[in-house]
Amino acid sequence: MSAASAENPHDKGPLYKTWRFIREIVIIVVIALALSFVIKTFFFRAYYIPSGSMEHTLEVNDRIFANLMVPGPFELDRGDVVVFRDDLGWLPPVTESPTAFENALSFVGILPASGEQYLVKRIIGMPGDTVEYDASIDKIKINGEAIDEPYIYTGNKPSDMEFSVTVPEGKIWVMGDHRAASADSRFHTDIQGGFVDIDSVQGKASVISWPTSRWGTISSHDEVFANVPDAASN
C-alpha cells in the first residue's frame, strides 16, 4: 500500500480546516441576513421612539417591534397603537442623509427604511366613527359612547381642545397617549381633516424590545372600547 493511499482522507490539514470554518461562518451570516430580511419584510420591523407623545405607554428612546401583518391579514381596531408613514407631512423634512451603516441596519430590519419618517399613535376612531371631545364631562365620545382612557398620561385631560369629526372610509383618527404633548389628528385638521390613510399604516406596535427593563407587550386596551356601538348603529 502506498503512502498516499494510507493517508487519512479526513485529515486535510490546518488550511482546509480554517477554510471550512470560515465557509460555515459565511453561510450562517448569509442565512441570518436572509431570515432577517424576510422577517422585516413580511412579519416584524423595529422602530425607535424619539419623542414623548405616547408616554407612558412608550417612553423616549424605547425600541419597539411592529407587527407588519396588521392591517391584513389581521385587521386594525380601536385602541391599537400603530406605526404609520408620514405621508401627509406632519413632521418637518429630514435634513440629514443616512449613513452607510444606518442603511445596512435598515436593510436587515434593525432600523426603519431610510429616507422615510414614521409616527406612532393610538387609533381612537375607525372608518365611519364619530369621535368628539365632550368638555362638559371631560371625556372622549365615540359614536355617542363616552370612554374612560387609563392609558392617558397622568394629569392630562383627554383633550385640550374641543372637536367633533366623522372618520371617512379608508381613514383613521389617531391620538397620542400624552395628550398635552402630542401633535396628532387634532392638530392637523388643515391636512386631510387630520385623518390618516389606512394605506399609510405600516403595522401594529406589539412589543417593547429595548431597554430590557421595559420588555413587554403593548396593549390595545380592548376594554376601553368594548361598549362603543358600531358606527352603522349610531
In tens digits, what is the pLDDT along the chain, a chain of 234 residues?
A: 444 444 454 556 677 678 777 878 887 776 666 655 555 545 778 898 999 999 999 999 999 999 888 776 568 999 999 999 999 999 988 666 667 666 666 665 555 555 678 999 999 999 999 999 999 999 999 999 999 999 999 999 999 999 999 999 999 999 999 999 999 999 999 999 999 999 999 999 999 999 999 999 999 999 999 999 998 654
Distance between CA atoms of 183 and 229, rounded to whole angstroms?
Answer: 27
104 belongs to a structural domain:
no
Q: 168 lies in a domain?
A: yes
Tell me if 62 sits within 8 A of 216, measured CB to CB.
no
* pLDDT at residue 70 in the model: 73
Residue 77 lies in a domain: yes
CATH number at 52 reads: 2.10.109.10
Q: Is residue 17 part of a domain?
A: no
Q: What is the pLDDT of residue 31?
A: 67
Domain contains 69: yes
Catalytic-role residue among 40, 106, 121, 220: 121
Q: Is 219 a catalytic residue?
A: no
- The CA distances from residue 170 to 33, 71, 108, 148, 233, in Å, are 35, 12, 30, 26, 19
Domain that holds residue 206: 47-96+115-233
Residue 212: DSSP 8-state: G
On whether the CB atoms of residues 55 and 182 are closer than 8 A, the answer is no
Cell matching residue 155: 394629569
The pLDDT, as a whole number, for residue 4 is 45
Nearest to 141 by CA among 169, 163, 170: 163
Give the pLDDT score at 72.
63
Decide if 233 is catalytic.
Answer: no
Return d(Cα 196, Cα 77) in angstroms, integer: 14
Identify any residues that bridge with 118 across adjacent strands, giving them in sequence order.
85
For residue 226, give Cα distances in angstroms to 32, 59, 137, 148, 201: 42, 27, 20, 11, 23
Query: Does residue 179 form part of some domain?
Result: yes
pLDDT on residue 6: 46
pLDDT at 2: 45
Measured between alpha carbons, how far is residue 194 from residues 134, 156, 174, 218 in Å? 18, 21, 8, 24
Given 5, 17, 51, 53, the catalytic residue: 53
What is the value of pTM for the model shown?
Answer: 0.77
Strand residues in 4-87 grouped as ranges (E): 44-48, 63-67, 81-85
Report how many domains make up the chain: 1
Report the C-alpha dihedral over residues 33, 34, 35, 36, rounded to 10 degrees: 50
pLDDT confidence of residue 27: 77
Residue type, 104: A
Q: Is position 207 within any domain?
A: yes
Q: Is residue 144 part of a domain?
A: yes
